[in-house]
Amino acid sequence: MTLRVLAAMSGGVDSAVAAARAAEAGHDVTGVHMALSSNPKSYRSGARGCCTLEDSRDARRAADVIGIPFYVWDLAERFDRDVVQDFVDEYAAGRTPNPCLRCNEKIKFAALLDKALALGFDAVCTGHYARLDDGVLRRGVDEGKDQSYVLAVCTREQLAHAMFPLGDTTKADIRREAERRGLRVADKPDSHDICFIADGDTRGFLAERLGAAPGPIVDTSGEVVGEHDGAYSYTVGQRKGLRIGRPAPDGKPRYVLDISPVNNTVTVGPREALDVHEITGERPVWLAAPPAGPHDCQVQLRAHGEVYDCTAGVEGDLVRIRLHAPAKGVATGQAAVLYDGDTVLGSATIAATDSVFA
> By the criterion CB under 8 A, which residues form the site for another protein?
30, 33, 35, 40, 53, 56, 60, 69, 71-74, 76, 111, 114-115, 118-120
88 in a labelled binding site = no
Establish whether 310 is a catalytic residue: no
Compare residues 118 and 292 and give the one whose CB is closer to another protein: 118
Q: How far is the CB of 154 from another protein (least distance, A)?
A: 19
If the CB atoms of residues 68 and 358 are measured against another protein, the closer one turns out to be 68
Q: Is 127 a known ligand-binding residue?
A: yes
Does the annotation flag 9 for ligand binding?
yes
The verdict on whether 154 is a catalytic residue reads no
Contact (CB, 8 A) for 256 and 268: yes
* 8 belongs to an annotated ligand binding site: yes
Least distance from C-beta 191 to another protein, angstroms? 18
Residues 6+ apart with CB under 8 A from 109: 124, 154, 158, 159, 161, 162
CB of 101 to another protein, least distance (A): 22
Find out whether 11 is annotated in a ligand binding site.
Answer: yes
Residue 200, annotated as binding a ligand: no
Give least dist CB 194 to another protein, A: 20
Q: Would you say 15 is a known binding-site residue?
A: yes
**Closer by beta carbon to another protein, 72 or else 141:** 72
Catalytic residue among 51, 100, 103, 310: 103
Neighbour count for residue 218 (Cβ, 10 Å): 21
Rounded to a whole number of angstroms, the minimum distance from the CB of residue 29 to another protein is 11
Nearer to another protein, 3 or 141 (CB): 3
Half-sphere exposure of 331 (CA within 13 A, CB side): 23
Residues 212, 215, 219, 224, CA torsion sign: positive
Q: Residue 122 or residue 278: which is nearer to another protein going by CB?
A: 122
Beta carbon of residue 120, minimum distance to another protein (angstroms, whole number):
6
Instruction: State the catalytic residue, choosing from 154, 195, 297, 310.
Output: 195
Rounded Cα distance between 10 and 7, Å, is 10
Q: What is the C-alpha to C-alpha distance for residues 329 and 246, in angstroms, rounded to an integer? A: 22
Is 33 or 254 the residue whose CB approaches another protein more closely? Answer: 33
Give the span between the Cα atoms of 268 and 271, in whole angstroms: 9
CA distance 83 to 251: 40
Burial class (CB in 10 A: 0-12, 13-18, 19+), 320: middle
φ and ψ of 41, to 5 deg? -65, -20
| CA distances for 352 relative to 277, 316, 339, angstroms | 11, 15, 20
Residue ranges of the binding site:
8-15, 34, 127
Residue ranges of the binding site for ATP:
8-15, 34, 127
By annotation, the residues acting in catalysis are 103, 195
